[in-house]
Structures are given as structure tokens and as C-alpha cells.
Amino acid sequence: MYKYFVGFVLLINVCVMAQETSFINDLYFDYSNYKEISLAKKRIKHADIIQLMDKLKENKKFEISKVGKSAQKRDIHLIKYGNGKTKVFLWSQMHGDESTATMGLFDIFNFLTAMDRYDDLRKLLNDSLTIYFIPMVNPDGAEVYQRRNAYDIDINRDYVNKQTPEARMLRSVFDTIRADFGFNLHDQNGSYAAGESPRNAAISFLAPAVNYNKDITPNRKVAMQVIAAINKSLKQYIPGHIAKYNDDFEPRAFGDNFQKEGMSTILIESGGWLNDTEKQFVRKLNFLALISAFINIANSTYTKYDVKEYESIPFNKEIFSDVILRSVTLKRGKKQIVADVAVKRVEKNSKDYKIGYYESEVDDIGDLTGAYGLEEYDCTGLTLEPGKIFSKTVSKVDTLEDVDINKIFLEGCTTIQVKKIDDSLAFCKYPINVCSKNKKQIESKVGSPADFGLYKDGELIYIMVNGYLYDPNNETGYIANGRINR
């Protein structure tokens, strides 16, 4: 009899696990029904989410309360969903410029408020779990798209000292809820690979350590099992692009301390994806990862996963540049050398913090085996020359509207002189760099702007403007913006 009973329980578990996989498969295709379209770009602000929360308040399934104020007196909200025994607590955007999961949370709210063929799933989540969300821990940072809070303190290093109102709020909400599971939602930059591989880390997970010894305490083990379950749901869509975040103990951070306090805590870091500067694909991965976690927690199916499955996820490694030009010929005095050239595009904030622009630079030159570019180009047989400054001058940046920029590129020029550059301009919205009069051409060295012409037998093949490769002969390619050199 016992044997049959065990067999029956196993069968149920297999069925429940298969059901979870099928939900995630379906949701991968149905996701667009729930995507919160008003949050279409990563620079989201407090006012954007206040509007959405006002709408959410009308839905009886949610309870929304104010749980604190930021340093600049912006309200911080807690959203509660469900009536189940198991408590799950999620907090996002503790770093103001890390908004990917926040967008994902609003997709989840849309999913939870919808009525469709997933109603049984909603009932399961509603009846088994009580889920608490803080969608924006650091609204002041979000306002100016910066990591730190208004006091210039990193909230995630303020767990012990509690000098910021945001850290005090988070600790006090944690104490009030005393959740079983916690999700600490962040972003990492796109320069991380999943292990020693040419695949970048689209998403990274961590069950934070509780001490320098990295002991696997019972609740840390549970966090590892939940991550193993999420990994299984996601890996078919992004094979080789899932990583584990550095597991060194950080005594000042929230995740590590909450884990120490007994809540099974999971860190999710939204990483990079090719041509996804606004992180919209990674946002979808967050949505799927969290729904998968909720199902596994509600059904307790995470208990079937082995810690070894968590351990088999490779650690992320910082080895990515935005672009690598492979085996390009460089002129050094009278000599020619062949080397790889890595280029990084540094994202900056516009003055109103509403949009970002890029300033690129040469990151490395040499044998870059073991490093990877999100974009890679084989430049064998191509000679790199610094981008030239166009011989004619225009009066104002706006005059570029009527200029045939491609023609300028065909002469190997990446920059044009402008008589008067407005002081308020941070970048050039046209795909060419501008400089004030009498500026000299810049040599192509590490740290210098990435503006080149690439030639074959003296004939221009490609041009790189502000870190973006463009083919002027066929007029193909994309250049986000030009740089201003005053």
C-alpha cells in the first residue's frame, strides 16, 4: 500500500511540475496581453507608477498602503495581493537606475487583474500565497536615473547604519511582514557573461550567503531550490544565458541580512540582451521568472529540486564590451600592427533625465581572446584610421537637418565643425559628432572616442561613429547619437 501511495504522490508531483512548465510555455506567447504599455522605456519615474497604482486601487484583489517616504518626501507604497498562508515579499528599484523588474511587476499586476484562461492559476496563487510588493524603493534615485538615493547613499549598503529613510522603511516592512520568501530585484550592466562563454548573462540569480563561510542554512537551501526551479522554466528560451551572481557575503546589504534573518531570499539581476537597450525582453524574463517562482512556491514543487541544480548554473563574469573589432590593422608610426579593438558605449543622462545618450570610447586594444563583444566584427584585411573632421563648417547643430551626412561619412569623416554649439546641448541628436572650430583629429588610443574609418586598399568600407559601426556605401547601420566636443 505504501508503495502505491508513494507512487501516487510522485505522479501528482510530476503532474504539478508539468503543469507549471505548460503555464510558462503559454505565458511566453501570451505575455503581450499583460505588458503594461505605459511603461515602455526604462527611465520610469515615481509619477508614472503612482498613476498605475491609482488604477490598481480600484481592484478589490489589491490593498495598497503607504509605508514610508523617501528623502525627498516621495511616498513609498506596499501592494498586497492574495489570502494564502505563505508570504512572499518582493521589492524593486532599490537602485534608482535599475527599473527592469519594476516594469515586470506592473506586467504581473495586469496579469493578476485579468480574467481569462489563466483563472485557475490566479486562484491557486490567490489562495496559497499572500504577495507583498514594493515596486520602487528609491523613487528619488529613479527621478534622476541614478543608483543612489537623494543623500548619495547606496541604500543596499545601508542595512546596518540605516541613515536613509528608504533603508529604515524596507527594514520595518520586513519586520512587519516576516515573509517566508523574498525577492530582491536589481539590474546588472550588460558586460557580464554566463560563465566562461560568449553568451551574455540575460538574467542572473543568487541565494545570498549568510556569512563569509557561505554556509547553506535551511532557508538559503530553499532559496537555491526556488532558483533551480526558475532556471528550469527559463532556460529553454535563453539557453546558456542564465548566470549566478557573485556569492561573496556582503554584511551591509539587504539580501544577505534578510537571508540571515530566516527569509528565503532570492536576488534577481536583470542583465543585458542584444539590441535591448530599454530592457524590454529582459523585463519579460522577469515576468516569467516571478510567475514561475510563485507557482513553484504555491505548489511546493521547488522542494523537488536539488541544490546541485542551483550550483550548476555558471557564475557571471565581466568580460563583455559593446563592440569588438577583431584582427584590425592599426598604424603605429611607420609600422602596422594587427590587434582586436574593444569599444564601450557609456550611457549618460540627458539634462531632464528623461532620455539617455551615449559617449563611446576605446576600451582595450590587443589580443582580446577570452573577451567578447555584444557586437563582433571580423576586420581581417581592414585598416583602421582615426575619424576625420569634415573640411566645411555649419553654423548651428540644427543645420545638420539639411546636410547629407552619408556623403560626409564617405570621406572618412566622423565629426563636423559647428560655429556655435548651444551650451545646453549635451549630445548631438544627428548621427555624427560635432565639435567647435579648430579642434584637431583625435588619435585612436585606449580611452579616446571610438571614431574611425575602416579601409581596404585605401577604400573606405565602414565608418565607426561614436562607437557605432556604419556602412556608408550601402547606407546601412544604426548610430544612436553623435558626441559634442566643445
User: Residue numbers of the site for Zn ion (CB under 5 A)?
Assistant: 95, 98, 186
- Rounded CA separation 416/437 (Å): 9
Q: Are 136 and 58 within 8 A, CB to CB?
A: no
Smaller CB separation from Zn ion, 94 or 428: 94
CA end-to-end span of the chain? 84
For Zn ion, give the closer residue by CB, 267 or 313. 267
CB of 187 to Zn ion, least distance (A): 6
Report the nearest approach of Zn ion to the CB of residue 45 (Å).
Answer: 18
**From the CB of 77, what's the least distance to Zn ion, in Å?**
20
Minimum CB separation of residue 235 from Zn ion in Å reads 23
**C-beta of residue 208 within 8 angstroms of C-beta of residue 253:** yes
Question: Minimum distance from CB of 177 to Zn ion (Å)?
Answer: 21
Nearest distance, CB of residue 95 and Zn ion, angstroms: 4
Q: Which residues contact 402 (CB under 8 A, 6 or more apart)?
A: none
Residue 156 Cβ vs Zn ion, minimum distance, rounded to whole Å:
6
Nearer CB in complex with Zn ion: 154/309: 154
The least distance separating Zn ion from the CB of residue 79, rounded to whole angstroms, comes to 21
Which residue, 156 or 200, has its beta carbon nearer to Zn ion?
Answer: 156
At how many degrees (to 10) do helices 2-30 and 280-299 cross? 160
Return the number of the residue (186 or 220) whose C-beta is nearest Zn ion.
Answer: 186
Q: Of the two residues 99 and 444, which places its CB atom closer to Zn ion in the complex?
A: 99
Query: Which residue's CB is nearer to Zn ion, number 98 or number 340?
Result: 98
**Least gap, CB of 97 to Zn ion (angstroms):** 9
- Cβ proximity to Zn ion, 250 vs 376, nearer residue: 250
Q: Of 93 and 128, which CB lies nearer to Zn ion in the complex structure?
A: 93
